[in-house]
A = this chain, B = another copy of it.
Amino acid sequence: MGGHRLNLSTLVFSVAVIIVVSHSAQSLALKHSPRFLRKLAATGTPFAPPQFHYETRYFQQRLDHFSFSDLPTFPQRYLISTEHWVGPQRLGPIFFYCGNEGDIEWFAQNTGFVWEIAPRFGAMVVFPEHRYYGESTPFGSAKEAYKDATTLSYLTAEQALADFSVLITDLKQNFSAKDCPVVLFGGSYGGMLAAWMRLKYPHIAVGALASSAPILQFEDIVPPETFYNIVSNSFKRESFTCFNYIKQSWNEITSTGQTYNGLERLTKTFNLCQKLKSTGDLYDWLDSAYSYLAMVNYPYPSDFLTILPGHPIKEVCKRIDGAPAGTNILERIYEGVNVYYNYTGKEKCFELDDDPHGMNGWDWQACTEMVMPMSSNQDSSMFPPYEYNYTFVKEECWNDYGVKPRPKWITTEFGGHVRK
């Protein structure tokens, strides 16, 4: 009897492994889609005491600018400072930051550049929040706004750009500033918005400064390996051995995970609070650290995504490479990612993201318009090899949100392909 039970449970275990692996591959597929701020944007770091001064205001926006459906309006939050503005007579410019996928105060506090140059240009500064993020949620609450595909359906880049255009038009009228030039700013997804807005609303903005804005990361415009190659090169540039340790670590994780008690050993090595459920979850956790490190590899200390030293990738590699002889690869990796997850040394253990498919604004956008193919190349990338599979993405999006992505829409609406 006991033997039978054992066999049966072994069988169940094998099936479970297959499911886990297949889930991991799918999960990787979605994550390997556009790697933007995602949940970080919702949680962020605890705000430092405000460095910059502004007023907080609200503007009632149409939920749908492009139809005449009878939908409720929603309050769009915006931060505004006229402290240094020289006014309409002297054609004082309006510096307009295109809010991206998160709380606008977080972006305002972390975009010193705009605040620093505003006095020199005598500029008004406006930081509007992107619809569906922060306090700018339709339907009265984030819970209602994120309920399902119907309530989320107006969370698109075109609607956000129309919000900005309507807000600017209204502000200009209220400040009698019709002739004052508007200059757009933005980074990451907000940079994409700034660039697209300059293209689509040239009558509204005379210029745009778009930073780290992957507007060409759609369809087949750039090779799908581009993103992970750039991240990998940021590590390779610091240290080839560091790059190689990371590159080798994935197989170590997989083979360790497949051994008896392997997941427990990984849990211990990486000091996780909860027992690791699958190696895929650990992959994601490490992938996040490396990717975000490359995004915020500033030459000075920062606390945008988390508290980090200047040149954080250099610091990661220093710890990976510099561990005492005999330290195994996974221990080295653990030392390295501590820079990202625990630079202050205050974390007792690490919580992995246990709800990767929760309702989340950016994931919705990635499942609708922001279909950005991303692969990881066997040779040039330090990440596990992965070939982008649109079918997986489509299925995940259907399962998570009941929505069909439109992978060709962004290039149709905003362009990007170069004609011969």
Contacts and interface: CB of A to CB of B under 8 A. Distances in A.
A412 B67 contact: no
Interface in A194-224: 199-204
B150 A70 contact: yes
A248 interface: no
A153 B69 contact: yes
Interface stretch (A154-162, A279-287, A346-354, A371-379): A154-162
Interface string A381-419: 000000000000000000000010000110111111101
Contact of A159 (B66, B162, B201, B204): B66
A325 to B, nearest CB: 55
A368 interface: yes
Given A68-B152, A156-B68, A162 B413 contact: yes
Given A64-B66, A69-B150, A149-B68, A203 B416 contact: yes
A158 B68 CA distance: 12
A269 interface: no
Nearest to A169: B412
Contacts of A64: 66-67
Given A165-B413, A413-B162, A419 B65 contact: no
Contacts of A37: none
A179 B420 CA distance: 6
Contacts of A199: 202
Interface string A59-89: 0000011111110000000000000000000
Contacts of A70: 149-150, 153
A179 B66 contact: no
What is the predominant secondary structure among interface residues of chain A facing chain B? loop
A65 B65 CA distance: 12
* Copies of this protein in the complex: 2
Nearest to A203: B415
A67 B159 contact: yes
B154 A67 contact: yes
Contacts of A154: 67
A221 B204 CA distance: 16
Interface residues of A, number: 41
A166 interface: yes
A68 B169 contact: no
A178 interface: yes
Nearest to A408: B169
Contacts of A178: 417, 419
A69 B413 CA distance: 18
B66 A415 contact: no
A159 B199 CA distance: 18
A66 B65 CA distance: 9
A403 B68 contact: yes
Given A165-B412, A169-B412, A412-B169, A153 B203 contact: no
A44 B322 CA distance: 82
A420 B91 CA distance: 10
B66 A66 contact: yes
A179 B419 contact: yes
A139 to B, nearest CB: 14
Most chain B beta-carbon contacts within 10 A, residue among A203, A204, A416: A203
A70 B152 CA distance: 11
A120 B299 CA distance: 60
Contacts of A150: 69-70
Contacts of A159: 66-67
Contacts of A165: 412-413
Q: Which 8 A-B pairs have the closest CB atoms?
A: A203-B415, A66-B66, A68-B153, A67-B153, A69-B153, A179-B420, A169-B412, A66-B158
18 contacts: A65-B413, A66-B66, A66-B158, A66-B159, A67-B67, A68-B152, A68-B153, A68-B368, A68-B403, A69-B153, A70-B153, A162-B413, A165-B412, A179-B419, A202-B415, A203-B417, A204-B412, A204-B415
